[in-house]
């Protein structure tokens, strides 16, 4: 009897040891799975402003574990004189990469790199041939659909390098989005095909690349810095240029007041239309496509096509 009891006890001890080993292995497996899952959720992409945010939404579409955050507030337009706030800097504290336009657009970039010297940086305008005038390089490359395609490709290649576990997803998403951008560009060219007079006036230097792509002649840029009212001399010069250049339309931007444009229009009998440089808008992946579609329709209407 004693022998039987001892045997049963030994068997129970063995069972308990096996159960303990199983529980330990199960716990380690769950812990490892949790670490893998946590690793997937820790890749955070921060963008400097709206058009880059929309681009990254498309490149990172449905990539597991990747979050995309726009640093500046949704109503921020071009970043010419924007100063990064403490909240902006805090948004970068846990970023794995910072996506910027470059070409002088983000004047606060030096401050960011000083505070976060190890933060990987993707400069979307790298490799783009920039337009220059007496005011320096023009950074508004995303307003050209063709150049924005290059930006999207640049972002995808760099994200694939920095987060190689999802490299194929980034590259596939970028290729799909680039195809949609190409289709958009062709439709825009078709919409403007019959426009004979392409002389226009804009109120911001944002449309230089757009004008180059769609063969528009920008006779005058009334406000070099968006939202700054031109003085009396500048107004008079713009009015004279319009009168002597057979300008077809004056274009303002939805982000800024158009009081000066209305004054010029009244003096020259030139109609005012709206072109959107895609620096603000809805926070969804198709927003850039929608904005440019609307621009194409407005241009066709303004240029009499």
| pTM confidence score | 0.84
DSSP 107-134: TTHHHHHHH-TT--EEETTTT----EET
As a whole number, mean pLDDT of residues 284-299 equals 96
pLDDT, tens only, 151-185:
999 999 999 999 999 999 999 999 999 999 999 99
Integer distance in angstroms from the first to the last C-alpha of the chain? 105
Backbone angles phi, psi at 43, to 5 degrees: -90, 105
DSSP E strand boundaries for 184-287: 199-202, 217-221, 249-252, 272-274
What percent of the chain is predicted at pLDDT more than 90? 66
pLDDT, tens only, 268-281:
999 999 999 999 99
pLDDT, tens only, 219-258:
988 876 665 678 888 889 889 989 998 898 999 999 877 7
Q: How far apart, in whole angstroms, are the C-alpha atoms of residue 116 and residue 215?
A: 42
pLDDT, tens only, 99-155:
999 999 999 999 999 999 999 999 999 999 999 988 889 999 999 999 999 999 999
H helix and E strand count, the chain? 10, 10
Residue count of the chain, please give it.
305
Q: What is the pLDDT of residue 13?
A: 44
Angle, alpha carbons 42-47-53 (nearest 5°): 105
């Amino acid at each position: 009897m004693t022998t039987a009891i001892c045997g049963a006890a030994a068997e129970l001890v063995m069972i308990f040891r096996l159960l303990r080993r199983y529980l330990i292995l199960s716990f380690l497996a769950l812990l490892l799975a949790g670490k893998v899952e946590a690793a997937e959720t820790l890749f955070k992409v921060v963008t400097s402003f709206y058009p880059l945010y929309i681009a990254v939404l498309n490149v990172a579409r449905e990539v597991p574990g990747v979050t995309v955050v726009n640093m500046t507030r949704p109503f921020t337009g071009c970043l010419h004189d924007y100063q990064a706030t403490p909240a902006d800097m805090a948004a970068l504290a846990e970023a794995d990469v910072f996506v910027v336009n470059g070409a002088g657009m983000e004047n606060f970039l030096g401050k960011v790199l000083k505070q976060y010297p190890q933060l990987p940086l993707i400069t979307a305008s790298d490799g783009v041939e920039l337009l220059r005038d007496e005011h320096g390089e023009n950074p508004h490359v995303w307003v050209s659909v063709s150049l924005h395609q290059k930006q999207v490709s640049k972002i995808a290649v760099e994200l694939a390098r920095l987060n190689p576990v999802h490299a194929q997803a980034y590259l596939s998403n970028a290729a799909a989005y680039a195809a949609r951008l190409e289709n958009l560009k062709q439709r825009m060219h078709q919409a403007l095909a019959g426009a004979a007079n392409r002389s226009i006036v804009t109120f911001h230097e944002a449309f230089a690349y757009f004008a180059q792509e769609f063969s528009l002649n920008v006779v005058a840029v009334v406000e070099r810095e968006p939202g700054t009212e031109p003085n009396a001399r500048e107004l008079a010069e713009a009015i004279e240029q319009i009168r002597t250049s057979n300008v077809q339309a004056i274009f303002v931007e939805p982000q800024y007041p158009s009081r000066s444009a209305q004054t010029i229009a009244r003096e020259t009998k030139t109609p005012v239309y709206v072109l959107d440089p895609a620096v603000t808008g809805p926070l969804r992946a198709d927003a850039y496509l929608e904005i440019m579609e609307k621009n194409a329709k407005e241009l066709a209407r303004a240029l009499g096509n």
